[in-house]
Amino acid sequence: MIDRRAFLRLAAGAGPASLAAACGWDGGNAVRPLLLDVSRLNDWVGEKILFSQHRLAPQYDIAQRATRLPSYFISPMMPVLRDPNAWRLQVGGLVRQPLTLSIDDLQAMPRTTYTVKHHCVEGWSAIATWHGVALSAVAARCGMLPQARYVRFDSFDSGYSNGWDLASAMHPQTILAYGMNDNPLPASHGAPLRLYSPTKLGYKMTKYLVSVTFTAERPGGYWEDQGYPWFAGV
Amino acid sequence: MTATPVPKSPPPPPARPKPAAVKRHHWIVRLTHWLTFVVLAGMIMSGLQIYTAYARFGERDGPSYVNAFEGHGFPHWSRLGGWLAGGLNWHFALMWPLIAGGVVYLSYLVVSGEWRSLLFRPRDIRGAIEMQKYYLRLRKDHPPQGKHNPLQKLAYTFIILLGVLSVLTGFAVYKPTQFSWLTALFGGFQGARYWHFWAVWIFTGFLIVHVILVFVVDPASLRAMISGWYRGRFPSHD
């Protein structure tokens, strides 16, 4: 939690600073940590007050789908598996029964399909259909322990990862997606498996998944560690 | 009977008595006024930084909203945050003092009854027309007024509503799924972004006109907004 004094100091410092020394300024070493403290406060407000585990994102007609979504990855080249058949998802951490799941295993589980709007932190949005299995079903299958409070998602995209709060992860629309727009998930969008949820900004939805780990400590993430909002709920 | 000497030239007009100082603005009004000014400047500048990341309004593959700034970033000096994450963090930090200032100010207006001299109501329409005639020089004398003339009431009522609209469109952009009903009200996520952006230019236009009028019409009002005391042309209070 942010302490109150830090917040007041920020409020007092923010104004004059923003006027006098703006110029594409990020706040410098004095203000940046305070901004990140407030960002943590906003994470808390976003998770505990504004987010509801029972509120579903609106769904759209497939006629409203965008023809193309931009693809993002951090590796210099699009990450592609050398041997897709050898790929497995590792599910572990605070669970009774760690799992090693193939795409076939995941597709044999109850399927969730929805057509929803994707919100990018940059400001663009686009409608697409996603097919996958609810993460809550995977958590039930591996016997997630009550100590689990967060989930860490790791990828084979140069170490790209994300950390999620458990409430968002267990939202009924949070899925491990193996399909997009009635087709298998393309490499440009994270094949063979990616995290998807219409309640988060795009950068929270780890692509090229290799593991799902339930933890007690809050995991960081690729963009989150560089200053982007951690909760990033929409 | 004594004869008064006849002056050779007309006497100088008697020195105008210094207008009495009247208490004009409560400290809450002054504090929130300047707080809002500074915080809003930071909100606008960090907002321009955020806009730079996707400089258009409209769904991917969809039509664009009419926007003179489409495809253009804003100059470095006008942006706050340095990069997208910095802009976001400034924006989401400054939103708290902005909202807090607005809530404190509006609460003060309600509790003190000051809202009566600020809120534009239908009965002010006639006075607003007279005031407009005066500014267009169709009427010579300045119509009598209370603390604010009807055109000022219109402007201040409008700008408060614009503030409320900015906050609402802001929440619609911030949490388009949790507040999907609100976002839908503004025409969806891109529509809410669009109207949120428009608020910037209306605020900027208001600021320019506001400052010009302060210096041209009633410079004493600037001092009143700092010290609270007013010694100017319009001392009456309704």
Q: What is the pLDDT of residues A219-229, one digit of tens each?
A: 999 999 999 99
Sort strands A209-215 and A89-93 into parallel, antiparallel or unpaired. Answer: parallel
% residues pLDDT > 90 (chain B): 81
Give B77's contacts in chain A (Cβ within 8 Å): 22-24
- A183 and A108 in one domain? yes
Q: Taking CB atoms and an 8 Å limit, are B42 and A19 in contact across chains?
A: yes
Q: Nearest by CB to A234, from B54, B61, B177: name it.
A: B177
Q: Taking CB atoms and an 8 Å limit, are B59 and A39 in contact across chains?
A: no
The answer to whether B49 and B80 are in contact (CB under 8 A) is yes
Q: How far apart are CA B130 and CA B142, in angstroms?
A: 9
Give A205's contacts in chain B (Cβ within 8 Å): none
Beta strands in chain A (DSSP E): 89-93, 99-101, 112-119, 125-134, 150-155, 161-165, 175-180, 183-184, 194-196, 209-215
Give A52's contacts in chain B (Cβ within 8 Å): 178
Q: How far apart are CA A59 and CA A129, in angstroms?
A: 9
| Residue B4 pLDDT level (bands cut at 50, 70, 90) | low
Q: Nearest by CB to A123, from B41, B54, B177: name it.
A: B54
Q: Taking CB atoms and an 8 Å limit, are B88 and A121 in contact across chains?
A: yes
Tokens describing residue A138: 């995977």
Give A228's contacts in chain B (Cβ within 8 Å): 84-85, 88
Tell how far CA B235 is from the center of its chain: 21
Q: Is B45 on the interface with A (CB under 8 A)?
A: yes
Burial class for A146, CB neighbours closer than 10 Å (0-12, 13-18, 19+): exposed
| Residue B1 pLDDT level (bands cut at 50, 70, 90) | very low
Q: Which of B67, B80, B175 to mutate to test the interface with A (most CBs of A within 10 A)?
A: B80
pLDDT of residue B15: 64
Alpha helices in chain B (DSSP H): 27-51, 84-112, 125-135, 150-174, 180-185, 188-217, 220-227
Alpha helices in A71-203 (DSSP H): 103-107, 135-142, 166-169
Tokens describing residue B39: 């915080």
Q: Which pLDDT tens digit goes with each residue over A132-186?
A: 999 999 999 999 999 999 999 999 999 999 999 999 999 999 999 999 999 999 9
Q: Nearest by CB to B89, from A35, A123, A234: name it.
A: A35
Give A58's contacts in chain B (Cβ within 8 Å): 177, 180, 184
Beta bridge partners of A114: A130
- B100 and B38 in one domain? yes
- A127 and A183 in one domain? yes
- A147 and A76 in one domain? yes
The answer to whether B55 and B72 are in contact (CB under 8 A) is yes
Mean pLDDT of B143-170: 94
CATH of residue A95's domain is 3.90.420.10
Q: How many CA atoms lie within 13 A of B116 on its CB side?
A: 6
Sheet strands side by side (includes A89-93):
A99-101, A89-93, A209-215, A150-155, A161-165
Mean pLDDT of B72-100: 95
| Residue B98 pLDDT level (bands cut at 50, 70, 90) | very high
Q: Give the three-state DSSP class for A81.
A: coil
Q: How far apart are CA B21 and CA B101, in angstroms?
A: 27
- A185 and A89 in one domain? yes
- B126 and B163 in one domain? yes
Q: Quick check: is A232 in a domain?
A: no
Q: How far apart are CA A98 and CA A85, in angstroms?
A: 20
pLDDT of residue A21: 47
> A54 — phi, psi (to 5°)?
-105, -5
Q: Quick check: is A56 in a domain?
A: no
Q: How many CA atoms lie within 13 A of A169 on its CB side?
A: 23
- B98 and B133 in one domain? no
- B96 and B146 in one domain? no
- A169 and A204 in one domain? yes
Q: Quick check: is A231 in a domain?
A: no
Q: What is the ipTM of this complex?
A: 0.88
Taking the alpha carbons at both ends of chain A, their separation in whole angstroms is: 21
- A35 and A137 in one domain? no
Q: Which pLDDT tens digit goes with each residue over A65-90?
A: 999 899 999 999 999 999 999 999 99
Q: Is A44 on the interface with B (CB under 8 A)?
A: no
Range(s) of the domain holding residue A125: 62-226
Tokens describing residue B45: 């500048």
Q: Quick check: is B189 in a domain?
A: yes
Domain total of chain B: 2
Q: Quick check: is A234 in a domain?
A: no
- A96 and A19 in one domain? no
- A75 and A144 in one domain? yes
Report the length, in residues, of chain A.
Answer: 234
Q: Quick check: is B233 in a domain?
A: no
pTM for the full predicted model: 0.89
Q: How far apart are CA B73 and CA B52, in angstroms?
A: 5
- A97 and A195 in one domain? yes
Q: Give the three-state DSSP class for A36.
A: helix
- B45 and B145 in one domain? no
Find the angle CA(B35)-CA(B37)-CA(B41) to the nearest 5 degrees. 115
- A79 and A39 in one domain? no
- B47 and B97 in one domain? yes
Which bin fits A77, alpha (ψ -120 to 50), beta or left (φ > 0)?
A: beta
Q: Is B39 on the interface with A (CB under 8 A)?
A: yes
Range(s) of the domain holding residue B219: 118-227
Q: Quick check: is B69 in a domain?
A: no
Give A204's contacts in chain B (Cβ within 8 Å): none
Which bin fits A227, alpha (ψ -120 to 50), beta or left (φ > 0)?
A: left
Q: Nearest by CB to A39, from B51, B92, B179: name it.
A: B92
- A41 and A72 in one domain? no
- A107 and A219 in one domain? yes
From A109's Cα to the closest Cα of chain B, the distance in A is 27
Domain total of chain A: 2
Mean pLDDT of B6-29: 75
Residues 16-35 (A) with a CB less than 8 A from some CB of B:
16, 18-19, 22-27, 32, 34-35
| Residue B236 pLDDT level (bands cut at 50, 70, 90) | confident
Asked, as a colleague might, if the bond just before A192 is cis with ω within 30 of 0, I would say yes
Nearest to A211 by CA among A152, A163, A171, A164: A152
Nearest chain A residue to B77 by CA distance is A23
Q: Taking CB atoms and an 8 Å limit, are A24 and B61 in contact across chains?
A: no
Q: Quick check: is B2 in a domain?
A: no
Q: Taking CB atoms and an 8 Å limit, are B38 and A228 in contact across chains?
A: no
Q: Nearest by CB to B86, from A10, A26, A125: name it.
A: A26
| Residue A2 pLDDT level (bands cut at 50, 70, 90) | very low
Q: Quick check: is B209 in a domain?
A: yes
Q: How far apart are CA A91 and CA A87, in angstroms?
A: 13
- B221 and B191 in one domain? yes
Q: Quick check: is A70 in a domain?
A: yes
